[in-house]
A and B are shown apart, each in its own frame.
Chain A
Amino acid sequence: MPTSLARVSIDELRDIAKRVRKDIVTMVYQAQSGHPGGSLSAVELGVSLFWNHLRCDPANPTWPGRDRFILSKGHATPFYYSILAERGFFSTELLSGFRSLGSPLQGHPSMSAAPGIEMSGGSLGQGLSFAIGQSLAARLDKRDYRCWVLMGDGELNEGQVWEAAMAVPHFALGDRIIAMVDRNGIQNDGFADTIMKTHPVEMWTGFGWHVIECDGHDMAAVDKALAEAEKPHDQPRLIVAHTVKGKGVSFMENNPSFHGKAPTKEQLEQALAEIEGGLS
């Protein structure tokens, strides 16, 4: 098997997470648009996944046996592109072109536009279905790769999510698909509980999934939850990561206005300092 896992320590993962957070705020600042809040909330999930769980080969990004990471919450591109770059899929220099004319790094992901981008996204609710197709193909082709799907909690409003949620256990794809929900509690228009209240744990449990909850910003807890999800189980696994929108930057944390807004120059400098200092 080609290169698969990086297998790094929790301390190293935390250092990587800092770099990713700095990339996120810098990219959104440079583009003067983008979605920092739901990117910052997903950092620990993404870093733990890409360095310790996702079997991938950045030098051979279309290796047919690779695990697939499917970003269903497609607006979280700053987090996604940063992780792909930091993991070696492409140069970090590309990040400065985020959202600009001529860059492969569009505001929402465009499949195959840059190495590692597995699915076109931006319209919510489509990732889990895509993973089902990839996984059924793997079964036909006798491959053992796994699909990891990251959804937002606001995204759970979309009906297609639940069409797919019932299909995964129906097709017995539990050992091929692991789903994750970034439960940051905020969606585009405001707090999720006021826009459209969902009950992720009860809803996914009711659809026949085994739900694993974790503190989405405790790197050790996240890493452990992902490892638990990889263990065989008679139900498909879904991780509900309890997170904070805008995590790591004081004025973005739990602030709905930073779902899709760029910082000013002064705010960027404050954000970078807070991330470096490890705001807790």
Chain B
Amino acid sequence: MTSAPTSAATREAYPFGLIDLVEQGVDVVAIDADLSVSTMGYKFGEKYPERWLSVGVAEQNMVGIAAGFAAAGKTAFIASFAAFLPGRCFDQLRTSVAQPRGGLSVKCVASHGGVTVGEDGMSAQAIEDLALATSLIPFDVVVPADFESARQAIVAVGKTSRPAYVRTGRPKVAAIYDASYRFELGRANTLRAGTDVTLIACGILVGVALQAAEVLAGQGVSARVLDMATIKPIDREAVLAAARETGAIVTAEEHQTHGGLGTQVARVLAEELPTPIAFVGVDRYGTSGKWDELLGYFDLTPQRLAQAARDVIARKR
């Protein structure tokens, strides 16, 4: 595939990113834990069977094997659902991957992130994974918004020597970027200029934020929209510029408001430029439903973001 599809799930980008890496000479191996049909890892296995394996339903073993591969010089990708990776194998990620000097080159690609996994219900809906992943000191943490940025994010983390966590999603979402986009690890992308407030979003909420900016425009409010795909290390300059130039911030993520994107943004503001901020996220366990119904159930909607924006603007001094 050369051009980005108009509608695709971010998880579909995983095998394409892996294939890109191999074609660029990176010594990649990829491991799945009996969810490869969902993570899309199996497609990489079809192309490069010697570089792919399944370990069965055994996430802890998967992490240890990846650490061993990385210690022997490989760039080791592992994939599962975000409900299990990092949660089911957090100690292995901490001890075997994060703690060796600088971290080993193990890249987690966790699909079915957030509540839009849908009908499987609360046990499958990961709303803690970013808090866990960002707590692992050497890890980069990335939540891409669409197929093209996911594919490029996978390539980007595959080219560093550090461990990384990339969260992908289950549902097909509209493309935000085409193949001319250049993803940069650690850099926010300004999708819409604005002066009254900045909506900082990651993952599926980027599209929602763009819609919210339209709603706000109809109400006479100029909203900037940042795609903060890399939540760690956060793009401090982009956050501070948004604070200086718009004076009000809303963060939006398909994750609880503790420990994810909002926490990272708030820390930068608290340290350098205290600014009114509102956090939009998911602070309760879920239920079954279609993915788009669940966005409504959890109020991860353009209307909610727009309301949060108006509220935070009202708090400006």
Contacts and interface: CB of A to CB of B under 8 A. Distances in A.
B229 interface: no
The residue in A123, A129, A132 that gathers the most chain B C-beta atoms within 10 A of its C-beta is A129
Contacts, number: 110
The secondary structure that dominates the A interface is helix
Contacts of B58: 160, 163, 167
B70 A133 contact: yes
B72 A163 contact: no
B101 interface: yes
A136 B65 contact: yes
Given A111-B71, A133-B70, A133-B72, A126 B64 contact: yes
A191 interface: no
A157 interface: no
Interface in B134-178: none
Interface residues of B, number: 31
A176 to B, nearest CB: 11
Nearest to B99: A120
B60 A137 contact: no
B61 A132 contact: yes
B105 to A, nearest CB: 12
Interface in B33-72: 50-51, 53, 55-56, 58, 60-72
Interface string A89-126: 00000000000000000000011110000111111011
B287 interface: no
A141 interface: yes
B71 A130 contact: yes
B296 interface: no
A63 B216 CA distance: 62
B65 A133 contact: yes
What is the size category of the interface that chain A forms with chain B? 35 or more
Contacts of A128: 64
A137 B68 contact: yes
B28 to A, nearest CB: 11
A10 interface: no
Given A159-B60, A160-B64, A113 B73 contact: no
A135 interface: yes
B99 to A, nearest CB: 5
A163 B61 contact: yes
A275 interface: no
B95 A136 contact: no
The residue in B56, B69, B73 that gathers the most chain A C-beta atoms within 10 A of its C-beta is B69
B72 A126 contact: no
Given A111-B71, A133-B68, A134-B69, A120 B95 contact: yes
A73 to B, nearest CB: 13
B232 interface: no
Contact of B64 (A111, A132, A140, A166): A132
A138 interface: yes
A51 B197 CA distance: 68
The residue in B56, B70, B71 that gathers the most chain A C-beta atoms within 10 A of its C-beta is B71
B96 interface: yes
A67 to B, nearest CB: 13
B91 interface: yes
Contact of A112 (B70, B74, B92, B101): B101
Give me the 7 closest cross-chain CB pairs, A-B, nearest first.
A133-B68, A129-B64, A137-B72, A163-B61, A111-B100, A163-B58, A133-B65
8 contacts: A118-B71, A123-B94, A126-B92, A129-B63, A136-B53, A138-B72, A160-B61, A167-B55
Given A119-B71, A125-B60, A132-B61, 9 more contacts: A133-B68, A134-B69, A134-B72, A137-B68, A140-B50, A141-B72, A160-B58, A167-B58, A171-B53
Interface of B: 29, 50-51, 53, 55-56, 58, 60-74, 76, 91-92, 94-96, 99-101
